């Protein structure tokens, strides 16, 4: 393990650094990674962001995006960079299975590993961690890492601020989830002062739908939404054929589950989608209902209490059946 003084000592000289984040990066994954990238570059390090997979267009405007390496596009180069790194920052994940094939490379690399994360149950692959499950986002933790742990708030420039603001905004559901504390608002206010253009960032992320994506959302809501009133549960199920019909791209299904949760009285919402290689579940809940427990116990997944995910090798029909069969067990929690 490294202590903070040792890490600061390492960072005092230019180093080879890789920053990586979870597969199918969301706004927090990419925002926290690029925010840290801008900061470390400013400090003369040789830094590379490597994402395990590609990510949606509505994130591709962020400053530094053009320099991101996508592992699935450049496996050899990624392997070389990971093997030669002095430090690897692991942002917004804490289990190596979340970075697919990169996981084995990171594990095998002699680099010191730094975890900056806000998910439950971290694995022990790191040498230093700034980990806090109360944080609304990894971007918040990167802000704290720079401003408080490294005591270097003065180096947070407009690019760092823009990326970190994006991470905080997207992972806090635009500042509406319960972990959006007054402290988060103070950090956000700082980021605006330091150069993040909040109106422009909201515009870039949220008003960037393709026509197909909006029509797909309409189709899901009018044709595919199922409300199980007895369990205050709503679910939306989508198969491969439907994804193709609407020419669905990476990220196009993100957020749809929240519409199911927005129905009055609904405590649990599920979006169950047939991906090419497996079935993926996204669960959202309100209050104390543990969506992550269902994902962990039945669908090889996990996450936060109110936002969790999992997967299955079974067919879509089997997974939907299994999900519905689970509900009686949770009826008390869902209805009391
Ligand atoms: P989403 O539904 O957006 O894919 O994921 C919601 C939350 O659950 C995210 O915080 C994500 O980190 C977590 N999550 C999603 N899928 C998995 C999974 O397969 N395993 C674990 N441990 N967490 C997941
Ligand atoms: Mn996050």
DSSP codes, 123-174: -S--SEEEE-TTSS-HHHHHHHIIIIIS--GGG--HHHHHHHHHHHHHHTTT
Q: What is the pLDDT of residue 163?
A: 99
The closest residue, in CA terms, to atom 10 on ligand 1 is: 303
> DSSP 3-state assignment of 56?
coil
pLDDT in 10s for each residue of the chain, 336 residues:
999 999 999 999 999 999 999 999 999 999 999 999 999 999 999 999 999 999 999 999 999 999 999 999 999 999 999 999 999 999 999 999 999 999 999 999 999 999 999 999 999 999 999 999 999 999 999 999 999 999 999 999 999 999 999 999 999 999 998 899 999 999 999 999 999 999 999 999 999 888 999 999 999 999 999 999 999 999 999 999 999 999 998 788 999 999 999 999 999 999 999 999 999 999 999 999 999 999 999 999 998 899 999 999 999 999 999 999 999 999 999 998
Q: Which residues surround ligand 2, an ion (CB under 5 A)?
A: 28, 92, 137-138, 171
The closest residue, in CA terms, to atom 14 on ligand 1 is: 309
CA of 112 to the centre of ligand 1 (A): 25
Atom of ligand 1 nearest to the CA of 121: 22
Q: Which residues pair with 283 in a beta bridge?
A: 270, 308
CA of 273 to the centre of ligand 2 (A): 21
Q: What is the pLDDT of residue 152?
A: 98
Q: What is the pLDDT of residue 336?
A: 85
- Pocket test residue of 172, 282, 309 for ligand 1, highest count of atoms within 8 A of CB: 309
Residue 318: count other Cβ atoms within 10 Å of its Cβ.
12
Q: What is the pLDDT of residue 231?
A: 98
CA distance 235 to 283: 9
CA of 275 to the centre of ligand 1 (A): 15
- Give this prediction's pTM: 0.92
Tokens for 277?
């290689």
**Which runs of consecutive H residues, i.e. helices, occur in 25-88?**
27-42, 75-84
Exposure letters 191-217 (e unless 16+ CB within 10 A, then b):
beebebeeeebeebbeeeeeeebeebb
The closest residue, in CA terms, to atom 20 on ligand 1 is: 301
**Positive or negative, the Cα torsion across 84, 33, 286, 229?**
negative
Tokens for 300?
């090889």
Q: What is the pLDDT of residue 197?
A: 98
Q: What is the pLDDT of residue 249?
A: 86
Q: What is the pLDDT of residue 250?
A: 79
CA of 28 to the centre of ligand 2 (A): 5
The closest residue, in CA terms, to atom 2 on ligand 1 is: 282
Phi-psi region of 230 (alpha: psi -120 to 50; beta: other; left: phi over 0): alpha
Ligand nearest to the CA of 304: 1
Structural contact between residues 17 and 89, judged by C-beta atoms closer than 8 angstroms:
yes
- Report residues whose beta carbon is within 6 angstroms of any ligand 1 atom: 95, 119, 282, 301-304, 307-311
CA distance 18 to 331: 46
């Amino acid at each position: 393990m490294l202590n903070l003084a040792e890490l600061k000592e390492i960072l005092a000289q230019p180093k080879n650094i890789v920053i990586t984040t979870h597969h199918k990066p969301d706004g927090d994954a990419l925002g926290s990674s690029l925010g840290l990238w801008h900061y470390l570059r400013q400090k003369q390090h040789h830094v590379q962001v490597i994402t395990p997979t590609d990510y949606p267009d509505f994130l591709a405007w962020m400053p530094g995006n053009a320099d991101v390496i996508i592992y699935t596009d450049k496996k050899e180069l990624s392997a070389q960079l990971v093997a030669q790194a002095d430090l690897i920052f692991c942002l917004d994940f804490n289990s190596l299975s979340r970075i697919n094939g990169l996981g084995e490379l990171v594990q095998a690399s002699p680099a010191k590993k730094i975890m900056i994360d806000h998910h439950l149950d971290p694995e022990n692959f790191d040498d230093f961690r700034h980990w806090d499950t109360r944080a609304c986002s990894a971007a918040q933790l990167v802000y704290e890492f720079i401003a408080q742990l490294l005591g270097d708030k003065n180096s947070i420039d407009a690019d760092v601020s823009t990326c970190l603001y994006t991470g905080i905004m997207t992972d806090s559901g635009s500042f509406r989830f319960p972990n959006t504390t007054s402290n988060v608002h103070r950090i956000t206010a700082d980021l605006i002062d330091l150069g993040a253009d909040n109106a422009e960032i909201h515009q870039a992320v949220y008003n960037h739908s393709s026509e197909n994506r909006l029509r797909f959302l309409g189709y899901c809501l009018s044709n595919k939404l199922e409300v199980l009133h007895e369990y205050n549960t709503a679910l939306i199920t989508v198969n491969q054929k439907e994804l193709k019909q609407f020419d669905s791209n990476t990220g196009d299904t993100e957020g749809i589950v929240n519409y199911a949760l927005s129905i009055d009285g609904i405590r649990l919402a599920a979006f169950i989608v047939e991906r090419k290689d497996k079935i993926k579940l996204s669960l959202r809940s309100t209050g104390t209902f543990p969506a992550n427990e269902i994902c962990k116990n039945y669908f090889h997944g996990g996450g936060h209490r109110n936002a969790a995910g999992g997967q299955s090798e079974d067919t879509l029909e089997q997974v939907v059946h299994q999900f519905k069969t689970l509900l009686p067990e949770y009826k008390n929690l869902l209805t009391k």
